[in-house]
Amino acid sequence: MRLAFLSPAKVNLDLLVLGKREDGYHEIETILQTVALYDRIFLELGQSGINLVVPDMLPAGAGNLCYEAAAAFYGATGISPALTVYLEKNIPIEAGLGGGSSNAAVVLHGLNVLYGFPLDEADLVSIAAHIGSDVPFFLRGGTARATGRGETIIPLPDAPCRWLRIVKPPFGLSTKEVYQRWIPTAGFKRPPRHNDLEQVALGLYPQLGMVRASLLGDGAIDVMLCGSGSAMCGFYHSRPVAMLSLPAGYREYIVPTLTSTECLVNFRGERKP
């Protein structure tokens, strides 16, 4: 049997970095929001082992979060691995949009569906937290507050629906490098909606300032860096119509926010022959 799932991206509505922890991670507080920008994942049982069919720019084994999620599921349940994962990638990588974490959550949840729910919700959340910081969030989606290194999730009422224009530059940013370069700023008066990593990203790639200015000039009510970048997101009350005039290599995506209910509907999966 093969099941198809949509794997949504996320943006950050706020991101506060509190400091570096003894384990090397940073303590953060952030508001996460799923958006209707999707990868598509097909899970098929049958072939022995954990097999990945993925785009060339991604690893097809250990190091791919889809693989890590499948290995964690089989390890927790004691079931012999017999899975092929087909990944159609649409969420840009190294963008701060959480594509890899979303993919991992979908594989984890999808395997639980295919095998008749051997794991309960608490088991899934615990496994997800060991795979990656954003993975637990994608098991529910919608709007949520994340604390710790991002793995502790507190569901929030769904934020009002907004339209977003997400701009992905022709370069990516390493989450590890951005956090390593973050420096606390004493006396900084923090605005209500702010990403503390944005100044680091702007220091690495000043071109992001042009993206911010273009989004504000287009009528965005607010603009934020997505996670650790490199994508920037403009928020709008209604759907933007015209495309921005951006240099070659810049991609843009116009999408609405997603509620937790919409995410859970996607999680039902679609049977494929």
Q: Which of 14, 39, 134, 158 does the annotation list as catalytic?
A: 134
Backbone φ, ψ for residue 170 (5° rounding): -80, 15
- β 2-20/270-272 pair status: antiparallel
10 flagged as catalytic: yes
Number of other residues whose CB lies within 10 A of the CB of residue 141:
26
Do the Cβ atoms of 240 and 179 come closer than 8 Å?
A: no
Nearest to residue 179, comparing CAs of 160, 195, 157?
A: 195
Give buried/exposed letters for 162-174 (b at 16+ CB in 10 A, else e): bbbbbbbbeebbe
Backbone φ, ψ for residue 73 (5° rounding): -65, -50
Number of other residues whose CB lies within 10 A of the CB of residue 268:
10
Q: Which of 10, 14, 39, 196 does the annotation list as catalytic?
A: 10
Do the Cβ atoms of 127 and 72 come closer than 8 Å?
A: yes
d(CA 82, CA 173): 34
Do the Cβ atoms of 173 and 261 come closer than 8 Å?
A: no
20 flagged as catalytic: no
Is omega for the bond preceding 230 within 30 degrees of 0, making it cis? yes
Task: Provide the annotated active-site residues.
Answer: 10, 134
